[in-house]
Protein backbone atom coordinates (compact mmCIF):
# COMPACT_ATOMS: atom_id res chain seq x y z
CA UNK A 1 0.00 0.00 0.00
CA UNK A 2 1.29 3.46 -0.87
CA UNK A 3 2.10 5.60 2.20
CA UNK A 4 -0.80 7.98 1.44
CA UNK A 5 -3.31 5.33 2.51
CA UNK A 6 -1.24 3.44 5.09
CA UNK A 7 -2.10 4.00 8.78
CA UNK A 8 1.13 3.46 10.69
CA UNK A 9 -0.31 1.11 13.29
CA UNK A 10 -1.70 -1.27 10.68
CA UNK A 11 1.29 -0.94 8.37
CA UNK A 12 3.53 -1.93 11.28
CA UNK A 13 1.63 -5.21 11.67
CA UNK A 14 2.48 -6.15 8.09
CA UNK A 15 6.10 -5.04 8.18
CA UNK A 16 8.85 -7.60 7.62
CA UNK A 17 10.01 -6.99 11.18
CA UNK A 18 6.64 -7.89 12.66
CA UNK A 19 6.18 -10.83 10.28
CA UNK A 20 9.52 -12.42 11.15
CA UNK A 21 9.11 -11.63 14.83
CA UNK A 22 5.74 -13.43 14.87
CA UNK A 23 7.15 -16.37 12.93
CA UNK A 24 9.99 -16.57 15.44
CA UNK A 25 7.51 -16.66 18.31
CA UNK A 26 5.70 -19.55 16.62
CA UNK A 27 9.02 -21.39 16.27
CA UNK A 28 9.93 -20.87 19.92
CA UNK A 29 6.49 -21.88 21.17
CA UNK A 30 6.65 -25.02 19.05
CA UNK A 31 10.01 -25.91 20.57
CA UNK A 32 8.63 -25.29 24.04
CA UNK A 33 5.63 -27.49 23.29
CA UNK A 34 7.95 -30.25 22.11
CA UNK A 35 10.06 -29.88 25.25
CA UNK A 36 6.96 -30.15 27.45
CA UNK A 37 6.35 -33.56 25.87
CA UNK A 38 9.93 -34.72 26.28
CA UNK A 39 10.78 -34.61 22.58
CA UNK A 40 13.40 -31.86 22.93
CA UNK A 41 15.82 -31.19 25.82
CA UNK A 42 14.25 -28.58 28.11
CA UNK A 43 17.56 -26.83 28.82
CA UNK A 44 18.24 -26.44 25.11
CA UNK A 45 14.79 -24.96 24.54
CA UNK A 46 15.24 -22.55 27.45
CA UNK A 47 18.43 -21.40 25.75
CA UNK A 48 16.45 -20.68 22.58
CA UNK A 49 14.25 -18.26 24.48
CA UNK A 50 17.20 -16.64 26.28
CA UNK A 51 19.10 -16.14 23.03
CA UNK A 52 16.05 -15.06 21.03
CA UNK A 53 17.39 -12.67 18.40
CA UNK A 54 16.05 -9.15 18.04
CA UNK A 55 14.08 -8.86 14.82
CA UNK A 56 15.05 -5.49 13.41
CA UNK A 57 16.07 -4.03 10.06
CA UNK A 58 19.43 -5.79 10.26
CA UNK A 59 17.71 -9.13 10.87
CA UNK A 60 15.43 -8.58 7.86
CA UNK A 61 18.41 -7.66 5.71
CA UNK A 62 20.17 -10.87 6.77
CA UNK A 63 17.14 -12.95 5.76
CA UNK A 64 16.94 -11.16 2.42
CA UNK A 65 20.60 -11.83 1.78
CA UNK A 66 20.27 -15.48 2.72
CA UNK A 67 17.24 -15.86 0.44
CA UNK A 68 19.46 -15.01 -2.51
CA UNK A 69 21.06 -18.40 -1.85
CA UNK A 70 18.08 -20.50 -0.69
CA UNK A 71 15.47 -19.00 -3.03
CA UNK A 72 13.04 -19.82 -0.20
CA UNK A 73 12.14 -17.10 2.28
CA UNK A 74 11.11 -19.35 5.18
CA UNK A 75 14.20 -21.49 4.80
CA UNK A 76 16.30 -18.33 4.77
CA UNK A 77 14.52 -17.15 7.92
CA UNK A 78 15.22 -20.45 9.68
CA UNK A 79 18.89 -20.35 8.65
CA UNK A 80 19.33 -16.84 10.02
CA UNK A 81 17.56 -17.65 13.29
CA UNK A 82 19.66 -20.76 13.82
CA UNK A 83 22.86 -18.85 13.09
CA UNK A 84 21.99 -16.06 15.51
CA UNK A 85 21.00 -18.44 18.32
CA UNK A 86 23.99 -20.66 17.71
CA UNK A 87 24.54 -24.38 17.82
CA UNK A 88 23.80 -26.95 19.06
CA UNK A 89 20.57 -25.45 20.48
CA UNK A 90 19.72 -23.61 17.26
CA UNK A 91 19.24 -26.94 15.47
CA UNK A 92 15.90 -27.39 17.28
CA UNK A 93 14.39 -24.39 15.45
CA UNK A 94 11.76 -25.61 12.95
CA UNK A 95 11.99 -29.18 14.28
CA UNK A 96 9.11 -31.26 12.87
CA UNK A 97 7.53 -28.28 11.13
CA UNK A 98 6.85 -27.28 7.56
CA UNK A 99 6.94 -23.72 6.31
CA UNK A 100 3.18 -23.24 6.24
CA UNK A 101 2.91 -24.29 9.89
CA UNK A 102 4.87 -21.20 10.81
CA UNK A 103 3.83 -18.81 8.06
CA UNK A 104 0.10 -19.51 8.17
CA UNK A 105 -0.15 -19.46 11.94
CA UNK A 106 1.83 -16.23 12.14
CA UNK A 107 -0.28 -14.65 9.40
CA UNK A 108 -3.53 -15.58 11.11
CA UNK A 109 -2.26 -14.07 14.35
CA UNK A 110 -1.42 -10.86 12.51
CA UNK A 111 -4.80 -10.76 10.79
CA UNK A 112 -6.51 -11.09 14.17
CA UNK A 113 -4.60 -8.05 15.44
CA UNK A 114 -5.49 -6.13 12.29
CA UNK A 115 -9.14 -7.10 12.54
CA UNK A 116 -9.19 -5.86 16.12
CA UNK A 117 -8.25 -2.42 14.78
CA UNK A 118 -10.87 -2.68 12.04
CA UNK A 119 -13.54 -3.55 14.60
CA UNK A 120 -12.51 -0.65 16.84
CA UNK A 121 -12.62 1.83 13.96
CA UNK A 122 -15.89 0.45 12.55
CA UNK A 123 -17.42 0.87 16.00
CA UNK A 124 -16.25 4.49 16.01
CA UNK A 125 -17.91 5.08 12.63
CA UNK A 126 -21.14 3.46 13.76
CA UNK A 127 -21.17 5.60 16.88
CA UNK A 128 -20.48 8.80 14.92
CA UNK A 129 -23.38 8.04 12.59
CA UNK A 130 -25.54 7.26 15.62
CA UNK A 131 -24.75 10.61 17.23
CA UNK A 132 -25.74 12.43 14.06
CA UNK A 133 -28.92 10.37 13.83
CA UNK A 134 -29.99 11.41 17.31
CA UNK A 135 -29.07 15.03 16.61
CA UNK A 136 -31.01 15.29 13.36
CA UNK A 137 -33.94 12.89 13.68
CA UNK A 138 -36.38 15.84 13.63
CA UNK A 139 -34.78 17.68 10.68
CA UNK A 140 -36.95 17.19 7.57
CA UNK A 141 -35.36 16.62 4.18
CA UNK A 142 -36.67 15.43 0.83
CA UNK A 143 -36.50 11.70 0.32
CA UNK A 144 -35.44 10.75 -3.19
CA UNK A 145 -36.04 7.66 -5.28
CA UNK A 146 -34.48 7.24 -8.72
CA UNK A 147 -32.73 10.54 -7.92
CA UNK A 148 -36.08 12.35 -7.93
CA UNK A 149 -38.18 13.91 -5.20
CA UNK A 150 -40.31 11.34 -3.40
CA UNK A 151 -41.71 11.94 0.12
CA UNK A 152 -40.22 13.70 3.15
CA UNK A 153 -37.82 11.91 5.44
CA UNK A 154 -35.30 13.28 7.92
CA UNK A 155 -31.55 13.62 8.11
CA UNK A 156 -31.71 11.43 11.20
CA UNK A 157 -33.45 8.64 9.33
CA UNK A 158 -30.63 8.64 6.80
CA UNK A 159 -27.95 8.56 9.48
CA UNK A 160 -29.80 5.79 11.34
CA UNK A 161 -29.89 3.57 8.28
CA UNK A 162 -26.20 4.12 7.62
CA UNK A 163 -25.45 3.28 11.26
CA UNK A 164 -27.52 0.10 11.04
CA UNK A 165 -25.63 -0.98 7.95
CA UNK A 166 -22.27 -0.43 9.62
CA UNK A 167 -23.55 -2.40 12.61
CA UNK A 168 -24.22 -5.33 10.29
CA UNK A 169 -20.72 -4.88 8.89
CA UNK A 170 -19.39 -4.98 12.44
CA UNK A 171 -21.09 -8.31 13.00
CA UNK A 172 -19.51 -9.60 9.79
CA UNK A 173 -16.11 -8.33 10.89
CA UNK A 174 -16.42 -10.08 14.25
CA UNK A 175 -17.35 -13.33 12.54
CA UNK A 176 -14.40 -12.93 10.17
CA UNK A 177 -12.10 -12.34 13.14
CA UNK A 178 -13.32 -15.58 14.69
CA UNK A 179 -12.84 -17.44 11.41
CA UNK A 180 -9.27 -16.25 11.01
CA UNK A 181 -8.26 -16.72 14.68
CA UNK A 182 -6.91 -20.19 13.93
CA UNK A 183 -3.60 -21.95 13.56
CA UNK A 184 -2.09 -25.23 12.39
CA UNK A 185 1.14 -27.09 13.12
CA UNK A 186 0.17 -30.40 11.60
CA UNK A 187 3.00 -30.85 9.12
CA UNK A 188 3.46 -31.26 5.42
CA UNK A 189 -0.02 -32.47 4.48
CA UNK A 190 -1.76 -31.89 7.80
CA UNK A 191 -1.48 -35.44 9.17
CA UNK A 192 0.73 -34.68 12.20
CA UNK A 193 3.28 -37.12 10.80
CA UNK A 194 6.23 -35.51 12.61
CA UNK A 195 4.63 -33.49 15.39
CA UNK A 196 2.11 -34.21 18.11
CA UNK A 197 -1.33 -32.51 17.96
CA UNK A 198 -0.77 -31.37 21.54
CA UNK A 199 2.09 -29.20 20.34
CA UNK A 200 -0.27 -27.50 17.89
CA UNK A 201 -2.73 -26.92 20.72
CA UNK A 202 0.05 -25.54 22.96
CA UNK A 203 1.19 -23.01 20.37
CA UNK A 204 -2.28 -21.91 19.32
CA UNK A 205 -3.49 -21.46 22.89
CA UNK A 206 -0.60 -19.15 23.71
CA UNK A 207 -1.25 -17.10 20.60
CA UNK A 208 -4.97 -16.82 21.26
CA UNK A 209 -5.78 -19.02 18.29
CA UNK A 210 -7.84 -22.18 17.81
CA UNK A 211 -6.19 -25.24 16.20
CA UNK A 212 -8.07 -26.42 13.13
CA UNK A 213 -7.83 -29.36 10.74
CA UNK A 214 -5.88 -28.38 7.64
CA UNK A 215 -3.93 -29.64 4.70
CA UNK A 216 -0.48 -28.13 4.48
CA UNK A 217 -2.17 -24.74 4.56
CA UNK A 218 -5.09 -23.25 6.44
CA UNK A 219 -8.16 -23.13 4.20
CA UNK A 220 -8.28 -19.84 2.30
CA UNK A 221 -12.02 -19.31 2.58
CA UNK A 222 -11.14 -17.93 6.02
CA UNK A 223 -8.92 -15.27 4.48
CA UNK A 224 -11.57 -14.52 1.87
CA UNK A 225 -14.05 -13.93 4.69
CA UNK A 226 -11.74 -11.28 6.12
CA UNK A 227 -11.55 -9.64 2.72
CA UNK A 228 -15.33 -9.76 2.40
CA UNK A 229 -15.70 -8.03 5.76
CA UNK A 230 -13.36 -5.30 4.53
CA UNK A 231 -15.14 -4.99 1.19
CA UNK A 232 -18.55 -4.82 2.89
CA UNK A 233 -17.36 -2.02 5.14
CA UNK A 234 -15.92 -0.24 2.12
CA UNK A 235 -19.22 -0.52 0.28
CA UNK A 236 -21.15 0.85 3.26
CA UNK A 237 -18.78 3.79 3.45
CA UNK A 238 -19.23 4.28 -0.28
CA UNK A 239 -23.00 4.40 0.16
CA UNK A 240 -22.68 7.07 2.86
CA UNK A 241 -20.15 9.04 0.82
CA UNK A 242 -22.29 8.82 -2.30
CA UNK A 243 -25.19 10.38 -0.39
CA UNK A 244 -22.93 13.19 0.76
CA UNK A 245 -21.80 13.79 -2.81
CA UNK A 246 -25.38 14.15 -4.01
CA UNK A 247 -26.49 16.39 -1.15
CA UNK A 248 -23.42 18.59 -1.73
CA UNK A 249 -24.28 19.33 -5.36
CA UNK A 250 -24.75 23.06 -5.97
CA UNK A 251 -28.41 22.73 -6.96
CA UNK A 252 -29.14 20.64 -3.85
CA UNK A 253 -26.82 22.18 -1.23
CA UNK A 254 -28.29 20.29 1.72
CA UNK A 255 -24.92 19.14 3.10
CA UNK A 256 -21.23 19.73 2.57
CA UNK A 257 -17.98 18.26 3.72
CA UNK A 258 -16.11 20.11 6.47
CA UNK A 259 -13.82 22.74 4.95
CA UNK A 260 -10.75 23.70 6.98
CA UNK A 261 -9.17 27.13 7.28
CA UNK A 262 -6.69 27.52 4.45
CA UNK A 263 -8.12 24.61 2.43
CA UNK A 264 -8.50 25.03 -1.32
CA UNK A 265 -11.27 23.33 -3.23
CA UNK A 266 -9.86 23.97 -6.68
CA UNK A 267 -6.57 25.21 -8.07
CA UNK A 268 -8.45 27.33 -10.61
CA UNK A 269 -11.87 28.24 -9.13
CA UNK A 270 -11.67 29.72 -5.64
CA UNK A 271 -15.40 29.32 -4.99
CA UNK A 272 -15.27 25.50 -5.12
CA UNK A 273 -15.81 23.28 -2.07
CA UNK A 274 -15.70 19.91 -3.73
CA UNK A 275 -16.70 16.70 -1.88
CA UNK A 276 -13.22 15.30 -2.43
CA UNK A 277 -13.15 13.03 0.63
CA UNK A 278 -16.45 11.43 -0.30
CA UNK A 279 -15.20 10.89 -3.84
CA UNK A 280 -12.02 9.33 -2.46
CA UNK A 281 -14.00 6.92 -0.31
CA UNK A 282 -16.13 5.89 -3.29
CA UNK A 283 -13.02 5.24 -5.36
CA UNK A 284 -11.19 3.27 -2.69
CA UNK A 285 -14.23 1.06 -2.10
CA UNK A 286 -13.71 -0.23 -5.64
CA UNK A 287 -10.17 -1.24 -4.74
CA UNK A 288 -11.38 -3.20 -1.69
CA UNK A 289 -13.86 -5.12 -3.80
CA UNK A 290 -11.05 -5.95 -6.20
CA UNK A 291 -9.04 -7.47 -3.35
CA UNK A 292 -12.04 -9.64 -2.48
CA UNK A 293 -12.15 -11.01 -6.01
CA UNK A 294 -8.49 -12.00 -5.78
CA UNK A 295 -9.04 -13.52 -2.35
CA UNK A 296 -11.88 -15.69 -3.58
CA UNK A 297 -9.68 -16.96 -6.37
CA UNK A 298 -7.11 -17.99 -3.76
CA UNK A 299 -9.49 -20.50 -2.15
CA UNK A 300 -9.10 -23.30 -4.70
CA UNK A 301 -5.59 -24.80 -4.48
CA UNK A 302 -4.14 -28.01 -5.91
CA UNK A 303 -4.51 -31.08 -3.71
CA UNK A 304 -3.05 -30.47 -0.24
CA UNK A 305 -1.30 -27.29 -1.21
CA UNK A 306 0.21 -25.09 -3.87
CA UNK A 307 1.53 -21.55 -3.52
CA UNK A 308 -0.53 -19.72 -6.14
CA UNK A 309 -2.23 -17.92 -3.24
CA UNK A 310 1.00 -16.77 -1.59
CA UNK A 311 2.08 -14.03 -3.97
CA UNK A 312 -1.45 -12.67 -4.11
CA UNK A 313 -1.84 -12.56 -0.33
CA UNK A 314 1.42 -10.70 0.16
CA UNK A 315 -0.26 -7.80 -1.64
CA UNK A 316 -3.98 -7.98 -0.98
CA UNK A 317 -4.10 -8.81 2.74
CA UNK A 318 -1.81 -6.01 3.98
CA UNK A 319 -3.31 -3.56 1.49
CA UNK A 320 -6.92 -4.43 2.28
CA UNK A 321 -6.49 -4.14 6.04
CA UNK A 322 -4.56 -0.89 5.81
CA UNK A 323 -7.00 0.61 3.35
CA UNK A 324 -10.03 -0.42 5.39
CA UNK A 325 -8.70 1.26 8.53
CA UNK A 326 -7.70 4.36 6.56
CA UNK A 327 -11.19 4.62 5.08
CA UNK A 328 -12.93 4.01 8.41
CA UNK A 329 -11.01 6.80 10.09
CA UNK A 330 -11.74 9.19 7.22
CA UNK A 331 -15.42 8.21 7.12
CA UNK A 332 -15.75 8.77 10.87
CA UNK A 333 -14.27 12.24 10.49
CA UNK A 334 -16.69 12.90 7.64
CA UNK A 335 -19.68 11.77 9.70
CA UNK A 336 -18.65 13.87 12.69
CA UNK A 337 -17.82 16.98 10.67
CA UNK A 338 -20.47 16.89 7.96
CA UNK A 339 -22.11 20.32 7.68
CA UNK A 340 -25.88 20.05 7.30
CA UNK A 341 -27.85 22.93 5.79
CA UNK A 342 -31.15 22.43 7.57
CA UNK A 343 -32.84 25.55 6.25
CA UNK A 344 -31.86 24.76 2.67
CA UNK A 345 -33.29 21.26 3.05
CA UNK A 346 -36.57 22.71 4.31
CA UNK A 347 -36.62 25.22 1.45
CA UNK A 348 -36.10 22.42 -1.07
CA UNK A 349 -38.85 20.43 0.58
CA UNK A 350 -41.49 23.16 0.71
CA UNK A 351 -40.64 25.37 -2.26
CA UNK A 352 -38.14 23.59 -4.47
CA UNK A 353 -40.38 20.54 -4.74
CA UNK A 354 -43.43 22.69 -5.60
CA UNK A 355 -45.20 20.58 -2.97
CA UNK A 356 -45.16 17.51 -5.21
CA UNK A 357 -43.79 15.42 -2.34
CA UNK A 358 -47.35 15.35 -1.00
CA UNK A 359 -48.89 13.76 -4.11
CA UNK A 360 -49.41 10.41 -2.38
CA UNK A 361 -51.17 12.12 0.50
CA UNK A 362 -53.50 13.93 -1.90
CA UNK A 363 -54.19 10.65 -3.72
CA UNK A 364 -55.22 8.93 -0.50
CA UNK A 365 -57.40 11.88 0.55
CA UNK A 366 -59.25 11.83 -2.76
CA UNK A 367 -59.86 8.09 -2.43
CA UNK A 368 -61.20 8.68 1.07
CA UNK A 369 -63.51 11.38 -0.36
CA UNK A 370 -65.18 8.80 -2.60
CA UNK A 371 -63.15 8.77 -5.83
CA UNK A 372 -61.99 5.54 -7.40
CA UNK A 373 -58.27 4.99 -7.13
CA UNK A 374 -57.71 5.30 -10.88
CA UNK A 375 -59.74 8.52 -11.14
CA UNK A 376 -57.93 9.99 -8.14
CA UNK A 377 -54.58 8.94 -9.61
CA UNK A 378 -55.34 10.71 -12.89
CA UNK A 379 -56.43 13.91 -11.13
CA UNK A 380 -53.26 14.01 -9.05
CA UNK A 381 -51.03 13.05 -11.98
CA UNK A 382 -52.46 15.79 -14.21
CA UNK A 383 -52.22 18.38 -11.45
CA UNK A 384 -48.61 17.41 -10.77
CA UNK A 385 -47.70 17.78 -14.44
CA UNK A 386 -49.44 21.16 -14.58
CA UNK A 387 -47.52 22.31 -11.50
CA UNK A 388 -44.24 21.34 -13.13
CA UNK A 389 -45.04 22.83 -16.53
CA UNK A 390 -46.29 26.12 -15.09
CA UNK A 391 -43.88 26.20 -12.13
CA UNK A 392 -46.83 26.59 -9.77
CA UNK A 393 -47.28 25.22 -6.29
CA UNK A 394 -48.94 21.84 -6.38
CA UNK A 395 -51.41 22.79 -3.64
CA UNK A 396 -52.59 25.82 -5.61
CA UNK A 397 -53.22 23.64 -8.66
CA UNK A 398 -55.11 21.08 -6.59
CA UNK A 399 -57.27 23.74 -4.94
CA UNK A 400 -58.20 25.16 -8.35
CA UNK A 401 -59.28 21.76 -9.70
CA UNK A 402 -63.10 21.43 -9.71
CA UNK A 403 -62.79 17.67 -9.36
CA UNK A 404 -61.15 18.03 -5.95
CA UNK A 405 -63.60 18.29 -3.05
CA UNK A 406 -61.22 18.79 -0.13
CA UNK A 407 -61.56 21.49 2.51
CA UNK A 408 -58.87 24.03 3.22
CA UNK A 409 -58.35 22.46 6.64
CA UNK A 410 -57.90 19.04 5.06
CA UNK A 411 -55.38 20.40 2.58
CA UNK A 412 -53.42 22.10 5.35
CA UNK A 413 -53.16 18.76 7.13
CA UNK A 414 -52.27 16.95 3.91
CA UNK A 415 -49.45 19.36 3.12
CA UNK A 416 -47.90 19.25 6.62
CA UNK A 417 -44.57 17.34 6.43
CA UNK A 418 -44.64 16.55 10.15
CA UNK A 419 -47.73 14.39 9.61
CA UNK A 420 -45.65 12.11 7.39
CA UNK A 421 -42.81 11.93 9.89
CA UNK A 422 -44.72 11.02 13.02
CA UNK A 423 -43.02 7.61 13.24
CA UNK A 424 -39.47 8.86 12.71
CA UNK A 425 -38.52 7.79 16.23
CA UNK A 426 -38.63 4.17 15.11
CA UNK A 427 -35.32 4.71 13.33
CA UNK A 428 -33.67 5.55 16.63
CA UNK A 429 -35.41 2.65 18.35
CA UNK A 430 -33.55 0.32 15.99
CA UNK A 431 -30.18 1.61 17.20
CA UNK A 432 -30.14 -0.83 20.09
CA UNK A 433 -26.49 -0.20 21.03
CA UNK A 434 -27.27 3.37 22.07
CA UNK A 435 -26.66 4.04 25.75
Answer for the pair 40, 95: CB distance below 8 angstroms, yes or no. yes
Q: Which of helix, strand or coil describes residue 422? A: coil
Answer for the pair 285, 234: CB distance below 8 angstroms, yes or no. yes
Catalytic residue, chosen from 18, 94, 99, 146, is 146
DSSP summary character for residue 356: G
CA dihedral 421, 427, 428, 429 (to 10 degrees): 110
Please indicate whether residue 146 is annotated as part of the active site.
Answer: yes
- Rg of the chain's alpha carbons, rounded to an integer? 30
Residues 83, 84, 89, 92, CA torsion sign: negative
User: Which residue, 227, 198, 226, 193, is CA-closest to 211?
Assistant: 198
Number of other CB atoms surrounding residue 130 within 10 Å: 23
Answer for the pair 35, 48: CB distance below 8 angstroms, yes or no. no
Catalytic residue, chosen from 72, 193, 266, 311, is 266
Q: How far is CA 140 from CA 72, 350, 417, in A?
A: 63, 10, 8
Q: How far is CA 130 from CA 135, 160, 243, 255, in A?
A: 9, 6, 16, 17
What are the residue numbers of the active site? 146, 266
Amino acid sequence: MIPRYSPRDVAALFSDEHRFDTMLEVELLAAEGLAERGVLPKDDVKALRVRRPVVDAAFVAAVDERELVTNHDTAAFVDVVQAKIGMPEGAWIHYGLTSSDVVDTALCHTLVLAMDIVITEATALRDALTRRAVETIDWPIIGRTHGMHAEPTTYGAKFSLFALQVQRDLERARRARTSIAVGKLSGAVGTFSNIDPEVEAYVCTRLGLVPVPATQVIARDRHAEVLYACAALGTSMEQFALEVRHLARSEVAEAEEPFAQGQKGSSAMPHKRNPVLSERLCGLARVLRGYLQAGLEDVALWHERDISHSSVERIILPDALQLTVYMLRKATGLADGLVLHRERALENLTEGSLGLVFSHSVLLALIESGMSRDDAYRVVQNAARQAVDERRNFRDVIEADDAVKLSNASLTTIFDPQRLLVHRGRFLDALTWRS
